[in-house]
Amino acid sequence: MNKPKVIVTRRWPSEVEAQLKTRYDVQCNESDTPMTVDALKRAMQSADALLTTVTDAITADIIHVDNRQVKIIGNFGVGYNNIDIQAAKAANLTVTNTPHVLTDCTADIAMLLLLMSARRAPEAERMVLNRQWHGWGPTQLLGQKVTGKTLGLIGFGRIAQAMARKAHHGFGMKILFYVPSDPEPAIVNELHATRCTNIEELLTEAHFVSLHCPGGADTKHLLNEHRLKLMRPTAHLINTARGDVVDSEALIKALKEGWIAGAGLDVYEGEPAIHPGFLELNNIALLPHIGSASEETRIAMGNRVLDNISTFFAGQTPTDRVV
């Protein structure tokens, strides 16, 4: 019996690629160059499984390509707004993601960005690297204290809850959150968290606001000019969710004009392109989408995809099926 053919769109951790090669007829992306639309269409026509990343835009045009052979898309990431889910449903195409395994690492990065922004770490590092630091001074690079402050979370899923635990138990922070659905009472009680009735209430109360909602049309520019103006002038905005949740133009204006004190971003609208306005600011921490970038987590993500496609090819429903 022939092994199913699997095409991987980017380089994955070597030990995961090695496991794939023992189980399947695998085509890996040795150059690690993002695949073009035409290459993705050819992959859909020639493979049984396409293993994508969150930066591969799998559009309806790609999904509905003539003579499609792919039966399952195994997405390497918890988010899947890079895939046209409605088109996948219409095509009877199975889509899976990789939840759970990247929770702590992404929450770690959110806390890192919060601390970097609060204490003006990027500005301070540039001062040292540019040989502009001439010694300690009592008013030099004054930032905001983190311990004991209020953290507001927009979204209250696994990553938000992990960040809340680190902030509350590690830094004594008061936790506010907003989420449309009802959260687990035990988690709310553990964190002594308070649920806000709407986003506006959270923005006016929090010293730090961290975004943990999914991307997509429903949340595009959720943080716009009007809402940014509701935040405290000493507040900081952290985004490790999806870039388009924040209106980039509005955030740049907010940081330039002092509506808020600072921001920390790991995701961007239209990434890998970054709005040039961000690069002109001192009061922002910028990371290149490394939320899950630890060896342990990326291997676990790859293994999660492996488990999902193995289950699918065994004729069963994958654990992480989203379509």
Residue 91 near residue 244, CB atoms below 8 Å = no
DSSP 8-state secondary structure symbol assigned to residue 321: B
Order of strands across the sheet with 49-53?
25-27, 5-8, 49-53, 72-76, 94-96
| Cα→Cα distances 27→11, 21, 69, Å | 11, 9, 15
Instruction: Please enumerate in sequence order all residues whose Cβ is within 8 A of that of 151, keeping only pairs 6 or more positions apart, or say none.
Output: 114, 163, 164, 167, 168, 173, 174, 175, 176, 206, 207, 208, 209, 210
**From the candidates 242, 269, 298, 304, which is the catalytic residue?**
242
Residue 238 near residue 110, CB atoms below 8 Å = yes
Clarify whether 242 is annotated catalytic.
Answer: yes
Report the chain's terminal Cα–Cα distance, integer Å.
28
* Polymer length in residues for the chain: 323
Residue 262 near residue 236, CB atoms below 8 Å = yes
**From the candidates 225, 271, 275, 321, which is the catalytic residue?**
271
Question: How many angstroms separate the CA atoms of 261 and 117, rounded?
Answer: 8
Question: How many angstroms separate the CA atoms of 259 and 199, rounded?
Answer: 17
- How would DSSP label each residue in 12-66? --HHHHHHHHHHSEEE--TT-PPPPHHHHHHHHHH-SEEEEETTS-B-HHHHT-T
**From the candidates 10, 64, 195, 289, which is the catalytic residue?**
289
Question: How many angstroms separate the CA atoms of 136 and 152, rounded?
Answer: 33
* 142 φ, ψ (degrees, to nearest 5): -75, 125
Clarify whether 271 is annotated catalytic.
Answer: yes
Question: How many angstroms separate the CA atoms of 73 and 58, rounded?
Answer: 10
Residues carrying an active site annotation = 242, 271, 289
